[in-house]
Amino acid sequence: MSYAAVVSSIDRTGMRYMTQVKAQLCTGTGAKEVITNFDTLTKNCLLRFRRETNQQPRKIIYFRDGVGDGQFKEVRTLYIQII
């Protein structure tokens, strides 16, 4: 089992945040590189931002840590498709 956390700003100043932490089952050995249900987690962040500010964010910036060189392309492609 591994854990994934998604943190997002919920205001225009970047001072207030929300956090979502999800346990993920792994198949095989090692950690899971792709966050399961990342699209749902992202949607939750966007809905909360809109609820707090009555606006859509102007930019979405992803910071991703811990991806091995061999899986970088797979993870990048997945996150670009979500946007």
**Cα 71 from chain centroid?**
17
Contacts (Cβ under 8 Å, ≥6 apart) of 77:
none
Residue 83 has pLDDT above 70, yes or no: no
pLDDT greater at residue 31 or residue 70: 70
With H, G, I as helix, E, B as strand and everything else as coil, classify residue 4.
strand
Q: Model's pTM, two decimal places?
A: 0.72
Phi-psi region of 19 (alpha: psi -120 to 50; beta: other; left: phi over 0): beta
pLDDT band at 62 (very low <50, low <70, confident <90, very high): confident
- Mean pLDDT, rounded, for 51-72: 82
Q: What is the mean pLDDT of the chain?
A: 82
Token duo for residue 72: 């970088």
